[in-house]
Structure 1
Amino acid sequence: MQLLAAGAATALAATIGVTALAVSGAQAATGGATGFATQNGGTTGGAGGATVKATTGTQIHAALCSRASASTPITIQVEGTINHANTAKVSGSSCSTAAGVIELKQISNVTIVGVGSGAVFDQLGIHIRESSNVIIQNVTVKNVKKSGSPTSNGGDAIGMESDVHNVWVDHATLEASGGESEGFDGLFDMKANTKYVTLSYSILRNSGRGGLVGSSDSDLQNGPVTFHHNLYQNIDSRTPLLRGATAHIYDNYYLNLNESGINARAGGKAKVENNYFKSSKDVLGTFYTDLPGTWQVAGNIFDSVTWSPKGTDTNPAGPNPTSTTTVSIPYSYTLDAASCVPSVVAQTAGAGTGLKVSDGSCTPTTPTPTPTSTTPNPTPTTATPTPTPTATTPTGTNLSLGAGADGSSKASGTSYGNVIDGSLTSYWSPNGSTGQISVKWSSATSVSKINVREASGAVGAITSWRVLNGDTGAVLASGSGAGVISFSATSLKKVTLDITGSSGTPRVAELETYAK
């Protein structure tokens, strides 16, 4: 990872007109990602990078554009109201922004978190496009329109499209003031190859459309996605709409769904557990199409729910929902009993609730530390130390031999498996100058060192990296250059080298792993 030293962070803040803080990125985004956002290398946002404060949309764009690269980690703490009047386009080599929308385009390793008296994006949507490893936390986004005035983000409060992966939206409040006829669209939309997303402890309300996964019945390369501990209130439909996608939906509170709820269609699959549905209609099934989806149900409560009769384009799961598929969940999670979901969600969901969470005991707790508008510090620090790789080969057994491998992308003619074959003549390269490569095992394995061995004649030397716990997304180490990297011994099934900067296209011949 490319970290900003104290002087550099201060200079960055001065350049973009925001306040540098002594709070680390990891502290700003309290806790850690959950659900499917923990997979595929994990979601850590701007952890370990510089932290700055912004009070306008222009300052948010400027923070993105003033980074050393489009993947340099950064946490942006937002306070106040962000609107069209204070959100202008900013240009730079590490960003691609637009006026009238918070544009997270072709970037990675970013956290946006509301602090202090709160962050409100008023009639201004957040657009995530061709980006990865993004956290949005403790913000309110309201009244975003696609027609009328002003318009923003196609009418979506938060919209993701075009090769987006690993996004965690947490403790957010997303709301509209009507449906499509009033100019609004979806509150939380994912399309065009958007993968590994989690929406947790959030409120979605007063909208015609809650959100979708897949923009049409031919847009089927999205998901998986997790929805947990959210409140859906006064929504007409799409809570969510799943087109060909897999979703894990648990411990949510659905109140006053007016037309339909969870709509699995065109091969979409939903695991629906321990949710509480109240005063609603057709809360689960396949609707408005003859292309069916499937669901697995357990532990849900249906309180004053009405069901339509089956028809050619209507297939409600009720009145006595039973499972029609089985959905495998690859991560660990703890369920609250459905009976206490209304109470738990009331105390935890949405912005401004202190980032409270539940551990399955039906008693919300507040993780520490919580984000605050910390007093400005002229010499900010970074949270993650930067180890220097050494040339000394570790002793012991290379645990990568006989293990598996995967990654985020691979250049033509290269393979993930080349990093675990014991040969320095074969190698893996990502599609571009950054990417992730992982070694994985079928059971938990203790690892404390990795040895990054670049191929002979590599033209793209690695300049910055992170080592991630592939099970949880936690950052184990960060720094620059190839060689031996040491960190605290960690038991895991997957360790990931996240290359966040290089001088060209890197070539990793071997990613060796060692217990000590």
Structure 2
Amino acid sequence: MQLKHARVRILAPVAAALAAVVIALGYSAVAYADTVFSDDFEDGNSSGWSGSGGSWSVATDGSRVLRQGGTSSDARFTAGTQSWTAYSVQARVKPTAFNGSNRFVAVLARVQSNTSYYYLALRSNNTVELKKLANGSSTTLDTASLTVSTNTWYTVRLEVSGTSLRGYVNGNLLTEATDSQYSSGRIGVATFYGSANFDDVVVSTIGSTPTTPPTSTPPTSTPPTSTPPTTGPPTNPGPNQADGWASVDAWGQSGTTGGTGGPTVTVDTAAEFLAEVATAGPRIIQVQGMIDLPGPMHDVTSDKTIVGVGGNSGFTGGGLNVGLPIDDDITSPPANAVHNVIIRNLNFRSWDDDAINVQMFSHHVWVDHNTWTTGVDGGVDIKRGSSYVTVSYNHADGTDKNMLLGHDDGNAAQDVGRLKVSYHHNFFDNTNQRNPRIRFGDQVHVYNNYYLNTGNYGVASTENAGVIVEGNYFEGVDDPFHLGEASSGDGRLVARNNCLVNSGAGQTGGSVSNPTYSYTLTPQCDVKANVTANAGAGRI
């Protein structure tokens, strides 16, 4: 079978080899993924697929789709290789007609033949079923209620890993079972006395990769819980609901609540803003309109929420400094370190130094739903022992030096054991580098971000940093992640569950322990739509 060269990448032998090494070494299993096959049918053909029954063609439904137009029989269309073992197959599925009351459309996994495979079916009786077909005889493994309508698009995903089978619809885990009959096989789509359109078929590997080396003493911390959404894609965090590292109780601070409990004030001039942000005690500062701040940066005191009004408020000319003055002799967090700061829903334009700078052991800082374009230096830099920071749902638009974590190779005394930062659901939109660039930080969690046409590189782990790159969507990124950068030595980097579209493979190495907080992953191939709809100012 000849598969399409432009958008099909068969990496099963590599994945199988990695899994074998992991099993031999006795590492614990943690899910990871690389895209090994994708087809959006925009080339106008279905080369690489083979059919049985039905009337298959490439047609137009807004964009090019694979169409099965008949309703008088069952029909299957399959692709891939028999050697695929642990993977997910996802497709957008649109039923267009059902010839009867108990008909279905489906995605298939571990296909042995036209009469033997696993499948996840959307049935016309308003159910979703996880099933097995063995020599033409079907067995229902699990079922759930689901309204199934014609002329409605559904994102359907079937995961098969070992004996575990899991079925998702629109990002929701609805069915799961265990079965050992089929261990490998191709993928496919199918209809049973129904017609349907199929689009955006993506196959991603699932396997085992080490995140912590074997030790004689079990770890004392509990790994985070990472589960698919139960009611759809994650919603935007509400006020005072920081997640990631900013939510962790540490250094005498319980989570990140900003100015909660203090007065709410609205400012629309630089003088008003600078007076309020310097005032001691909790305060919610609402920024009305674009304020021209003198450069370069202005100090933010503890227990502040700085939030824009509407989608067109923020700062030009100057940036925000969350931290004490630089003192290289301080090597542990001082009692008066700046802490508990929220910066949300702001636009930053033409800043003279950094748009946002976090330094000198500042902690519990949440940077959320902001938009920045270009300035003299970084969009968000975090350095000099700062920790417990979350950077989420921001839109970095064309920034060169976007996000730096750890400012210098010689700053180990302040940085080792600190710089715990979460970066999630950010839109790195034609940014060039430092997305982020990391020294020393451990554990740094980079998850569910969308990278589009990154110029130089995406994520760089250096100076023994421990970085997890998880569930991100890289599109048009030649170098999505790597070890070392310029004169900085290598760090450690684990990559898992990433969707790579017209992008390089990335470089990994070493082991990284999981962060200690719970988090929910958006399915990696849904990240693009989620982030572009929700990231940036004006989208809270």
Structure 1 residue aligned with 2:344, among 130, 133, 137?
Answer: 137
Structure 1 residue 104 and structure 2 residue 299: aligned?
yes
Indicate conservation of the 8 Å contact 1:296/1:327, yes or no: no
1:73 maps to what in 2? Answer: 282
Give the partner amino acid of 1:211: M
Structure 1 residue 223 and structure 2 residue 432: aligned?
no
Give the partner amino acid of 1:52: V
2:354 maps to what in 1? Answer: 156
- Distance (whole Å) between structure 1 residues aligned to residue 272 and residue 238 of structure 2: 19
Matched position secondary structure for 2:431: strand
- Distance (whole Å) between structure 1 residues aligned to residue 513 and residue 379 of structure 2: 26
Indicate conservation of the 8 Å contact 1:29/1:111, yes or no: no
**Counterparts in 2 of 1:160-239, with a 5 A limit?**
160-176=358-374, 184-220=376-412, 221=415, 222-239=418-435
Give the partner amino acid of 1:244: F
Give the partner amino acid of 1:113: V
1:347 maps to what in 2? Answer: 533
Indicate conservation of the 8 Å contact 1:176/1:206, yes or no: yes
Indicate conservation of the 8 Å contact 1:61/1:102, yes or no: no
Give the partner amino acid of 2:382: M
1:359 maps to what in 2? Answer: none
Q: Deviations over 1:351-388 (max 9, x none)?
A: 011x1xxxxxxxxxxxxxxxxxxxxxxxxxxxxxxxxx
Matched position secondary structure for 2:474: strand
- Distance (whole Å) between structure 2 residues aligned to residue 289 and residue 327 of structure 1: 26
Indicate conservation of the 8 Å contact 2:323/2:362, yes or no: yes
Structure (1 or 2) with the larger CA radius of gyration: 2
**Shift in Å at residue 141 of structure 1?**
0.6
Distance 1:80 1:29, change over 3 A: farther
**Counterparts in 2 of 1:315-334, with a 5 A limit?**
317=507, 324-334=510-520
1:35 maps to what in 2? Answer: 244
Give the partner amino acid of 1:62: A
Matched position secondary structure for 1:306: coil
**Counterparts in 2 of 1:473-484, with a 5 A limit?**
none
Give the partner amino acid of 2:498: N
The 4+ residue runs of structure 1 with deviation greater than 3 A are 99-102
- Distance (whole Å) between structure 2 residues aligned to residue 272 and residue 62 of structure 1: 40
Structure 2 residue aligned with 1:336, among 519, 522, 526?
Answer: 522
Matched position secondary structure for 1:344: helix
2:458 maps to what in 1? Answer: 261
Q: Deviations over 1:382-438 (max 9, x none)?
A: xxxxxxxxxxxxxxxxxxxxxxxxxxxxxxxxxxxxxxxxxxxxxxxxxxxxxxxxx
Indicate conservation of the 8 Å contact 1:277/1:305, yes or no: yes
Give the partner amino acid of 1:128: V
- Distance (whole Å) between structure 1 residues aligned to residue 317 and residue 431 of structure 2: 19
- Distance (whole Å) between structure 1 residues aligned to residue 310 and residue 345 of structure 2: 10
Give the partner amino acid of 1:262: V
Give the partner amino acid of 2:388: Y
Indicate conservation of the 8 Å contact 2:240/2:257, yes or no: no
2:265 maps to what in 1? Answer: 52
Give the partner amino acid of 1:104: D
**Shift in Å at residue 104 of structure 1?**
2.6
Indicate conservation of the 8 Å contact 1:264/1:292, yes or no: yes
**Shift in Å at residue 118 of structure 1?**
3.0
2:491 maps to what in 1? Answer: 293
- Distance (whole Å) between structure 2 residues aligned to residue 209 and residue 117 of structure 1: 24
1:306 maps to what in 2? Answer: 504
Indicate conservation of the 8 Å contact 2:311/2:345, yes or no: no
Q: Deviations over 1:226-266 (max 9, x none)?
A: 00000111122110011011210110001111111100000
Q: Deviations over 1:153-192 (max 9, x none)?
A: xx21111122211100110112117xxxxxx211110111
**Shift in Å at residue 101 of structure 1?**
4.8
Matched position secondary structure for 1:345: helix
Indicate conservation of the 8 Å contact 2:424/2:449, yes or no: yes
Aligned length: 281
Give the partner amino acid of 2:529: S
**Shift in Å at residue 100 of structure 1?**
3.2
Q: Deviations over 1:297-352 (max 9, x none)?
A: 21101111136xxxxxxxx50xxxx5631322111110000110000001110001
Give the partner amino acid of 1:228: H
- Distance (whole Å) between structure 2 residues aligned to residue 45 and residue 335 of structure 1: 25
**Shift in Å at residue 268 of structure 1?**
0.9
**Alignment TM-score, normalising by the size of structure 1:** 0.52
- Distance (whole Å) between structure 2 residues aligned to residue 64 and residue 278 of structure 1: 39
- Distance (whole Å) between structure 1 residues aligned to residue 489 and residue 269 of structure 2: 44
- Distance (whole Å) between structure 1 residues aligned to residue 302 and residue 316 of structure 2: 24
- Distance (whole Å) between structure 2 residues aligned to residue 37 and residue 248 of structure 1: 12
Give the partner amino acid of 1:37: A
2:276 maps to what in 1? Answer: 63
Q: Deviations over 1:449-497 (max 9, x none)?
A: xxxxxxxxxxxxxxxxxxxxxxxxxxxxxxxxxxxxxxxxxxxxxxxxx
Give the partner amino acid of 2:350: N
Greater length-normalized contact order (CA 8 Å, ≥ 6 residues apart) = 1
5+ long unaligned stretches in structure 1:
1-27, 85-98, 145-151, 178-183, 308-315, 356-516
Give the partner amino acid of 1:111: T
Give the alignment's Cα RMSD to 1 decimal: 1.9
**Shift in Å at residue 117 of structure 1?**
5.3
Give the partner amino acid of 2:305: T
Q: Deviations over 1:248-302 (max 9, x none)?
A: 0110001111111100000111111110011012111123236111112211011
2:291 maps to what in 1? Answer: 82
- Distance (whole Å) between structure 2 residues aligned to residue 331 and residue 297 of structure 1: 18
Q: Deviations over 1:86-141 (max 9, x none)?
A: xxxxxxxxxxxxx5355234x21000001145312112211111211100000011
Structure 1 residue aligned with 2:439, among 228, 240, 243?
Answer: 243
1:390 maps to what in 2? Answer: none
- Distance (whole Å) between structure 2 residues aligned to residue 252 and residue 170 of structure 1: 13
5+ long unaligned stretches in structure 2:
1-236, 325-337
Matched position secondary structure for 1:208: coil
**Shift in Å at residue 53 of structure 1?**
0.4
2:316 maps to what in 1? Answer: 122
Give the partner amino acid of 2:465: G
**Shift in Å at residue 80 of structure 1?**
0.7
Give the partner amino acid of 1:135: I
- Distance (whole Å) between structure 1 residues aligned to residue 372 and residue 400 of structure 2: 12
**Alignment TM-score, normalising by the size of structure 2:** 0.50
